[in-house]
Structure 1
Amino acid sequence: MTWYALQHKPAQGDRALDNLQNQGITCFYPKITVEKIKAGKRSKKLEALFPGYLFVHLEQTDPMWAKLRSTRGVLRVVGFAGKPAAIGDEVIQHIEDSLHAVADVGGIKPGQPVELSDGPFQGIDAIFKAYDGEERAIVLIQFMQKQQAISVSVGAIRGK
């Protein structure tokens, strides 16, 4: 059996997933939790890792191929030159492993020790204080025998 990508209709990924699974097709619809800032409030939302696409695990000879395009929520099978494009098992496994790694890390919590991995304070240990907008964070560092609050890029902090 091989993995293939399906394009689903706009905003119908969950519908396509449910309908495919009801037909007994093995599916993979990776989602991640993302933080959004709307009206100054930070919120978490579950979103598709590949918007517009999900993956199915089928044999080339499976009779379910005929039903895929007529499944509610499904737009088309992704392919080239009229043939479905196969995706290696190792690619899907890597995506699954990466999703588990991200879920295990979670988010950085206030008071958590972090290391600054970029910028002028690279290599310095700090304490995460809070997010400062969508791309910045406030961390506390020990500087001149005082705890100083500095604003750094979110990408420059790494949890310890």
Structure 2
Amino acid sequence: MAWYAVQYKRSEGDRALANLEYQGAECFFPKIAVEKIRRGKRTSIMEPLFKGYLFVNVDNADPLWSKIRSTRGVSRLVAFAGKPASIDADIIEYIRASVDRLNDQGGISKGQLLKLHDGPFRGLEAVFQRYDGDERAVVLISFMQKQQLIKVPLASVASL
């Protein structure tokens, strides 16, 4: 048995996954928690790690081969020169472990101690206060013997 990438139709990843599993295929559809702003509130939603693709573990002799392309939600099986491109099981296990680790971390919570690693306040410690849009955070720093609230890019903060 080997893993293969399946391209699903736009916005039909969950449908393709359900239909492939219903037919008895072992599937892997990696999703990660992403924080988005919806109606003015920050919410966490699950999004596919590889937008447009999921993975299926199928034996070459399995009759499911002939059904994959006609499965509802599936666009095509990823192939090169007419041959389905197999993916090593070690790569799938690495992706699975990485996704699990990412989803366990979650986002930054209020009061969490951070270190600024970019910008004019590089090297200072900060306390996370809140998100400011999708790309920035409001943090509290001690600067010039005062507590200051500043806005910094999320990319410039790291957990201690």
Deviation at 1:57, TM superposition (A): 0.7
Gaps of 5+ in 2: none
Matching residue of 1:102: 102
1:128 aligns with 2:115: no
Please give the secondary structure, in 2, of the residue aligned with 1:102. Answer: helix
Equivalent AA in structure 2 for residue 89 of structure 1: A
Matching residue of 1:57: 57
1:46 aligns with 2:46: yes
Deviation at 1:151, TM superposition (A): 1.1
Matching residue of 2:11: 11
Equivalent AA in structure 2 for residue 117 of structure 1: H
Please give the secondary structure, in 2, of the residue aligned with 1:72. Answer: coil
Equivalent AA in structure 2 for residue 4 of structure 1: Y
Matching residue of 2:23: 23
Matching residue of 1:34: 34
Matching residue of 1:72: 72
> Would you say the 8 A contact 2:33–2:106 is kept in 1?
no
Please give the secondary structure, in 1, of the residue aligned with 2:11. Answer: coil
Equivalent AA in structure 2 for residue 143 of structure 1: F
TM-score normalised to the size of structure 1? 0.93
Matching residue of 1:143: 143
Equivalent AA in structure 1 for residue 30 of structure 2: P
Moved more, 76-85 or 141-150: 141-150
Equivalent AA in structure 2 for residue 63 of structure 1: P
RMSD: 1.4
Give the fraction of aligned pairs with identical amino acids, expressed as a percent: 55
> Would you say the 8 A contact 2:8–2:75 is kept in 1?
yes
Equivalent AA in structure 2 for residue 124 of structure 1: L
> Would you say the 8 A contact 2:7–2:78 is kept in 1?
yes
1:153 aligns with 2:153: yes
> Would you say the 8 A contact 2:130–2:138 is kept in 1?
yes
Please give the secondary structure, in 2, of the residue aligned with 1:110. Answer: coil
Deviation at 1:28, TM superposition (A): 0.3
Moved more, 35-44 or 14-23: 35-44
Please give the secondary structure, in 2, of the residue aligned with 1:118. Answer: coil
Distance 2:42 2:120 in 1: 28
Deviation at 1:39, TM superposition (A): 4.5
Distance 2:39 2:19 in 1: 36
Please give the secondary structure, in 2, of the residue aligned with 1:107. Answer: coil
Distance 1:40 1:22 in 2: 38
Distance 2:24 2:34 in 1: 30
